[in-house]
């Protein structure tokens, strides 16, 4: 009997921060592979409702839950509600995140701590309370959305890099503790992607646009859909013996120190 290793029919996936951008792109990929989507948002019920409506307009089975992933009491309450109303959570994608671009010497401690709380502490909180059901069933997938800043530093993003570097190591430690329960924990590290947030700097002639295109061996920005394959792989049976890994979807940036400006 043949098995489709990438078929996710009947699975329930909870995606934090799945109302827009790369989170939405990954959720759409999972939905097209058969997943029932549970989308978390924190800032606006209207934004969450619009996102769920967009998923449904594509024929995907989607539900929306508004709660703050940094508040443990809200996480506990909503996970129980999701499991009662939709079903047990088979796949958790810890995607919610923020960034504050401030030189370290000018950054307020409260701002530094807020980035750490959203980008690093919330994946711990979410995973801590989803994992209990996964351990009981002896199966599950957790995908932490890391970053190239899990490996490299860059001016003005120290808090974000510290959080994403910590998330890389948290991923490895989750895998260390939970793989024995037949639960796989991995990360995805996106490179530079064409989103609404990067639109102003992706115009021809903009120095950063030229830098990214010349720095990326693939010679282009990533399209949000480029993340879907990695998400489906790490959520599926195809990755049942893969755990503690970070898959960098970056067009090859981390593979090279770059090329001289006069090189073709």
> Distance between CA 205 and CA 186 in Å, rounded?
37
The pairs formed by 176-183 with CB atoms below 8 angstroms and a separation of 24 or more are 176/244, 178/131, 178/134, 178/135, 178/142, 179/243, 179/244, 181/134, 181/135, 181/138, 181/140, 182/138, 182/139, 182/140, 182/240, 183/131, 183/134, 183/135, 183/138, 183/139, 183/140, 183/141, 183/142
Beta-carbon contacts of residue 239 (< 8 Å; ≥ 6 apart): 141, 184, 186, 233
Per the annotation, the verdict on 63 as an active-site residue is no
Biggest alpha carbon distance in the chain? Answer: 61
Cα–Cα distance, 53 to 152 (Å, whole number): 37
E strand or H helix at 255? none
Token readout for 40 is: 């978390």
The residue assigned the tokens 């064409």 is 194
Among candidate residues 44, 48, 70, the one with its CA nearest the CA of residue 129: 70
Which residue out of 55, 65, 160, 248 is catalytically annotated? 160
Backbone angles phi, psi at 141, to 5 degrees: -135, 130
Q: Phi/psi at 184 (nearest 5 deg)? A: -105, 130
Distance of CA 237 to the CA centre of its chain: 19
Residues with catalytic roles: 160
């Amino acid at each position: 009997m043949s098995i489709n290793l990438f078929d996710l029919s009947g699975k329930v996936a909870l995606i934090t921060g799945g109302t827009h951008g790369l989170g939405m792109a990954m959720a759409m990929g999972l939905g097209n592979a058969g997943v029932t989507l549970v989308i978390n948002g924190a800032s606006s019920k209207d934004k969450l409702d619009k996102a769920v409506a967009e998923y449904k307009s594509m024929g995907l089975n989607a539900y929306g839950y508004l709660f703050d992933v940094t508040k443990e009491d809200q996480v506990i309450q909503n996970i129980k509600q999701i499991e009662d109303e939709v079903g047990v959570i088979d796949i958790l994608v810890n995607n919610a995140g923020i960034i504050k671009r401030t030189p370290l010497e000018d950054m307020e401690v409260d701002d530094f701590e807020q980035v750490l709380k959203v980008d690093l502490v919330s994946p711990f909180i979410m995973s801590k309370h989803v994992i209990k059901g996964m351990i009981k069933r002896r199966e599950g997938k957790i995908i932490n959305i890391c970053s190239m800043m899990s490996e490299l530093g860059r001016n003005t993003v120290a808090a974000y890099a510290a959080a994403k570097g910590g998330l890389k190591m948290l991923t490895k430690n989750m895998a260390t503790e939970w793989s024995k329960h037949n639960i796989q924990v991995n990360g995805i590290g996106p490179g530079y992607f064409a989103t609404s947030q990067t639109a102003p700097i992706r115009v021809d002639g903009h120095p950063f646009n030229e830098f990214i295109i010349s720095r990326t061996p693939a010679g282009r920005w990533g399209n949000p859909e480029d993340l879907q394959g990695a998400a489906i792989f790490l959520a599926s049976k195809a990755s049942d013996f893969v755990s503690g890994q970070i898959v960098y979807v970056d067009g090859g940036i981390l593979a090279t120190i770059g090329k001289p400006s006069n090189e073709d």
